Amino acid sequence: MKTQVAIIGGGPSGLLLGQLLHLQGIQTVILEARTPEYVLGRIRAGVLEQGMTDLIKLAKADSRMLREGHVHTGFALAFAGRSERIPLDTLTGGKAVTVYGQTEVTRDLMDARAATGGISVYEAQNVKLHDFYGDKPRVTFEKDGELVELECDYIAGCDGFHGVSRQSVPAGAIQEFERVYPFGWLGVLSRTPPVAEELIYANHERGFALCSMRNPMLSRYYVQCPLDDKVEEWSDDRFWEELKRRIPEQAAEALITGPSIEKSIAPLRSFVAEPMKFGRLFLVGDAAHIVPPTGAKGLNLAASDVATLYDALRRTYHDGRADLLEKYSEVCLRRIWKAERFSWWMTSILHKFSDDPFAHRMQLAELDYYTSSLAGRTTIAENYVGLPYELLV
C-alpha cells in the first residue's frame, strides 16, 4: 500500500489536513484506531476562530457550519457581582468567533472526505511508525487480523496526546514542558436553551464556572471541581444549584435546567513538546501540545498547525519547496506558546487555586484592570479571536 502523506489519527485535525491535501491532488491515507462512531462520540470544544472557519471553507466542508454555526461578537467576564462584556468585533477590526461543536466539525469533514473518495482506515490496530528519519518512511498496522505496510513520503501525527506518533520519537530527541492544574472541569450537556446569547466566564470564590452552548436547544455548562471528585457524586440537581451560585444573579434567575445527556470530569493541563518535526514525521495538534480549555484554543491550535503543514506540503509537491518543511516546527511553536500563555492566563485569573483571600483579591483586581482598560480589553479580544497565522517564506 502506498500514499504520499500518511495521516495518523482520524479526528478533526487529521481529517482537515487530509481533505485540504486531497483537494490539491496530494494522496493521503488516514489511519484511525477507533470506529467512526467513537470518534463522533467525543464531546469537545465548540468555539472556532476565524482562521479555523476559513480552513473549513477551504476544505469545502463548510455548508452546514454556515447554516447552523452561531457567530459571536463578544463574551462576558463575570466577577465580584459584575458582568463585563468583551466586544470582540469592535476591538479587533470586525473579527469574531463561531460557536459550532467539534463533533459537528468532525462529522462534516468525514462526509466531505467520503464524498471525494479519500481513504480512511478505521480500527487500524497496532500502528507503528518506521524509518521517518530516512527518505522512505512507512507505517505498519493491523486490519482485520492482517498486517498491512503503508509506504509514504511523509507522516503527519494527528493522533492526540496519548497517540503513537509522539511516543515513536526517540526520548533524547524531544523536550516536554508541562503544568498540571490542581482541579478539573465538571461538564454537563443538556437539551435546554442557553442561559445567554454569548459565553459567560465566571470567577467566583467557590470556583470557576462557564456557560456555553452548542445550538439554540443544546447547552454546555461547566463548574470547577476537585480532581478526585466522581461524576456519580454530582446529581443534576447538585450541579445546577452549584452553577447558579457561581454565575451572575441575573443569569442564575434566567437559567433553564433539565436532565443532563452527558456528564464528565476533565483534568486541565498545559503541555508543549519541542520540536514538532522529526525527519519526515510531523506532530500536529494534541500530539504536540495541550492547553487548558479556558481560552478555547485546543482545536484552534490544531487547525493552525494544519494550516502550516498543509501550506508546506502543498508547496513541496507543487513548487519543489521542500525547504519550507524545515520551518514547520519553528513557525508553529511561536503561535503555540502565545496561545499557551493566553490559556494559562485565563485559567490563572478565573479559577480558585486555594482558600487564600489575598490571592482571590489579586484575581479580582486584575480582572477589574483588564476590563476597565481599552488596552486590556483589546489584549483579551485579540487573543480570544486568534492571533494571525504566520506565512511560510
Written as nine digits, the cell of 86 is 468583551
Please confirm whether the linkage preceding 216 is cis (ω < 30° from 0): no
Per domain, the residue ranges of the chain are: 5-72+97-177+269-353
For residues 140-147, average pLDDT: 96
The string over 147-185, giving b where at least 16 C-beta atoms fall within 10 Å of a residue's C-beta and e elsewhere, is eeebebbbbbbbbbeebbbbebbeeeeeeeeeeebebbb
For residues 340-347, average pLDDT: 98
How far is residue 338 from each of residues 86, 172, 306, 382, 388, measured CA to CA in Å?
20, 25, 17, 11, 11
What pLDDT, in 10s, does the model give residues 225-236?
Answer: 999 999 999 999
Query: CA-CA distance, 78 to 339, in Å (whole number)?
Result: 22
Angle at 140 between CA 34 and CA 145, to 5 degrees: 65
End-to-end CA distance of the chain: 34
Is the model's pLDDT at 41 over the cut of 90?
no
pLDDT band at 43 (very low <50, low <70, confident <90, very high): low
- What DSSP letter does each residue of 165-224 carry, written as one string? HHHTS-GGG-EEEEEEEEEEEEEEEESS--SSSS-EEE--TT--EEEEEEETTEEEEEEE
Q: Is 244 strand, coil or helix?
A: helix
With a pLDDT cut of 90, the percent of the chain lying above it is 96
Within 8 A by CB and 6+ apart from 237, the residues are none
- What is the CB neighbour count within 10 angstroms for residue 372? 10
Written as nine digits, the cell of 224 is 470547577
The fold adopted by the segment(s) 5-72+97-177+269-353 is: FAD/NAD(P)-binding domain (3.50.50)
Q: Do the beta carbons of residue 302 and residue 325 sit within 8 Å?
A: no
User: 125-128: long-range contacts (C-beta < 8 A, 24 or more apart)?
Assistant: 125/33, 127/8, 127/31, 127/33, 127/164, 128/164, 128/168
pTM for this structure? 0.95
Residue 359 amino acid letter: A
Query: CA-CA distance, 174 to 277, in Å (whole number)?
Result: 10
Q: Do the beta carbons of residue 125 and residue 143 sit within 8 Å?
A: yes
For residues 193-214, average pLDDT: 96
pLDDT for the residue 391: 86
pLDDT for the residue 239: 98
Helix, strand, coil percent content, the chain, rounded in steps of 5:
40, 30, 30
pLDDT for the residue 393: 86
Q: Do the beta carbons of residue 212 and residue 48 sit within 8 Å?
A: no
Is the model's pLDDT at 242 over the cut of 80?
yes
Within 8 A by CB and 6+ apart from 26, the residues are 4, 5, 313, 314, 317
The residues assigned a catalytic role are 72, 201, 293, 297, 384
pLDDT for the residue 46: 85
Q: Do the beta carbons of residue 317 and residue 28 sit within 8 Å?
A: no
